């Protein structure tokens, strides 16, 4: 069985908390390896990520895993977060640079995720399994695809254990990226990030920002279905499930689902697999 994991964002309101609880309850049934919780760079969810990780671990009994970003936070803040997560029983973290609105980065901050990985290894040895991000379609701020791959290798050499990719809808990009990484001597598992499709116009905005390409034929299909919600849902689930199937058949070591705190779009895919 291919290991799976789910990603959530930390709820801020009571209503969002209830929704998270409902989704976690349903998705737990798929026996995920872990459930991760994002972290808003710049401090916006500074207090909500630990609280949510704790909620996952104590209330739901699942392996809650925090994301930690290094821009917008100083080393001392990161040190105390790592201590807190250790105290909560965490032995895995997702280490990222994060994205901060311009002007919010304070002096002395780390610039790249590789520096965060170095700090974790220097101060916690092998305690944490460290996941990092990878970009089969290239990080939008990278000079070019090869420079981005070399930067990925710096993170791995700093001590990352595995990587989760940005979402993509083109398996060729993933398999080529894995081949290129192997050719550079990167041998850690590279787990595809999977974005189920629920709100298509929101997805198009996200994809513009993070550089993920949505195939033209998919856009045309979605446009044709218009407000026919049932057709949109069925098509989106079939399309993403087929993508997952190709990834598994091609040897992907796991699947990481960006749930956006919703259970149904992810479940619809898992049921099809």
To 10 degrees, the CA torsion angle through 160, 166, 169, 173? Answer: -50
Contact status: 119 vs ligand FAD (CB under 6 A): no
What residues numbered 181-240 form the site for ligand FAD, per CB under 6 A?
Answer: 193
Q: How many CA atoms lie within 13 A of 68 on its CB side?
A: 31
Contact status: 154 vs ligand FAD (CB under 6 A): yes
Q: Does 143 participate in catalysis according to the annotation?
A: no
Choose, by CB under 6 A, the member of 20, 53, 65, 164 that binds ligand FAD.
Answer: 164
CB of 170 to ligand FAD, least distance (A): 16
DSSP string, 4-21: EEEEEPPP-SHHHHHHHH
From 13-21, 133-141, 199-207, 239-247, give the range in contact with ligand FAD by CB under 6 A.
133-141
What CA–CA distance (Å, rounded) separates 26 from 20?
10
CB of 130 to ligand FAD, least distance (A): 11
Burial of 191 (0-12, 13-18, 19+ CB in 10 A): buried
Contact status: 97 vs ligand FAD (CB under 6 A): yes
Nearest to 119 by CA among 67, 65, 152, 75: 75
Q: Which residues are catalytic?
A: 7
- The contact set with ligand FAD (CB under 6 A) reads 38-41, 67, 69, 94, 96-99, 112-114, 133, 139, 141-142, 147-148, 151, 154-155, 164, 166, 193
């Amino acid at each position: 069985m291919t290991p799976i994991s789910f990603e959530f964002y930390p709820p801020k309101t009571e209503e969002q908390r209830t929704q998270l609880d409902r989704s976690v309850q349903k998705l737990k049934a798929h026996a995920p390896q872990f459930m991760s919780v994002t972290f808003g760079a710049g401090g916006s969810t500074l207090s909500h990520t630990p609280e949510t990780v704790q909620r996952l671990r104590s209330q739901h009994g699942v392996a809650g895993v925090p994301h930690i970003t290094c821009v917008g936070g100083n080393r001392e803040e990161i040190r105390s977060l790592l201590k807190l997560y250790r105290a909560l029983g965490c032995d895995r973290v997702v280490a990222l640079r994060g994205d901060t609105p311009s002007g919010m980065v304070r002096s002395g901050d780390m610039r790249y995720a590789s520096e965060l990985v170095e700090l974790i290894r220097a101060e916690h040895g092998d305690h944490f399994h460290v996941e990092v991000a990878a970009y089969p379609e290239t990080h939008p701020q990278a000079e070019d695809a090869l420079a981005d791959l070399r930067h990925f290798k710096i993170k791995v050499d700093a001590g990352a254990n595995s990587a989760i990719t940005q979402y993509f809808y083109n398996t060729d990009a993933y398999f080529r990226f894995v081949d290129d990484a192997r050719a550079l001597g990167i041998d850690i598992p590279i787990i595809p990030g999977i974005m189920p499709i629920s709100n298509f116009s929101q997805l198009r905005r996200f994809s513009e920002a993070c550089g993920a390409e949505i195939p033209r034929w998919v856009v045309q299909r979605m446009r044709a279905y218009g407000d026919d919600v049932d057709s949109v849902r069925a098509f989106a689930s079939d399309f993403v499930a087929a993508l997952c199937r190709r990834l598994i058949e091609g040897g992907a070591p796991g699947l990481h689902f960006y749930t956006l705190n919703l259970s149904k779009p992810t479940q619809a895919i898992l049921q099809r697999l």
